[in-house]
Amino acid sequence: TPSGAGTNSKIFTLSLWIKRCGLGASQAMMGTGNSSGYSSVFLEFDSNDKLRFAQINSQGNGFEFEYITNRTFRDVNAWYHVVCTVDSTDSTEADRVKIYVNGVRETSFSTTNHAGSNSTFLWNDARVHSIGRHGEWNLRYQNGVMSHIHNIDGTAYQASTFGETDSTTGIWKPKTAPSVTYGNNGFFLKFENSAAMGTDSSGNSNTFTVNGTMTQLIDTPSNVFCTMNP
């Protein structure tokens, strides 16, 4: 839970790498919200294996924004790089929320609810922020491997800030030390210390409490291992 106010409640960027291990169920990558699951922001793969990014304002009051891709994500051998850039001060409605996968912007959605002009968001607010589950709502746990999780408070960055195309292989790869300003409640989780997996490497000391059992793997976005497809 952030200890103080965010840098800017209208602008933030999320960047993470994920390799899926289970399909066909709603699985959150990141989330914040109360125990009932309302008044929350969350990024997940839904039960149809589509990417969903949304903010629910409160029970019965609908969404501040919601995007569900037409594209499905069912490759359990690949690492996906997901970037969500949010800026409600953008004058172009369709550009207030941008979603990128492996450096390419997603533009085809089955559900599209744009954020309002100058809307404020719940992310980076003083509420529980979770990695691998839907906020305080103890459901939708992620079945997968995650790496290089960045939260940027107050700046809207593009996918190219966090990744680049390898000049030899043509494969999208991570920038392990991107030049960014994290803001007050920003964080960078590398998961490089197996004894302290929640350590924040942004310089902000926004370290996470680890719940359950986490396993550190040598399968990473820069060192990809073959995975048996269940």
pLDDT of 35 strictly over 70: no
Min mean pLDDT across 18-27, 55-64, 86-95, 201-210 is at 55-64
pLDDT band at 38 (very low <50, low <70, confident <90, very high): low
Confidence of residue 148 (pLDDT cuts 50, 70, 90): very high
**Among 53, 52, 44, 46, which residue's Cα sits nearest to residue 18?**
44
User: In the prediction, which pLDDT does 36 show?
Assistant: 56
| 144-153 sheet: strands from edge to edge | 104-105, 97-101, 80-87, 11-20, 144-153, 187-189
Could you tell me if 28 and 137 are in contact, meaning their C-beta atoms sit under 8 angstroms apart? no
Q: Could you read off the pLDDT of 48-85 as tens digits, one per residue?
A: 999 999 998 865 567 899 999 999 999 999 999 999 99
Query: What three-state secondary structure class fits 95?
Result: helix
Report the pLDDT value the prediction gives residue 20, as an integer from 0 to 100: 96
Choice among 101-110, 135-144, 205-214 with the minimum mean pLDDT: 135-144
Quick one: pLDDT at residue 34? 64
Which one has a higher pLDDT value, 137 or 154?
154
77-105 pLDDT, tens digit per residue, is 999 999 999 999 999 999 999 999 999 99
Strand ranges (E), 118-216 = 129-131, 144-153, 163-165, 172-174, 187-189
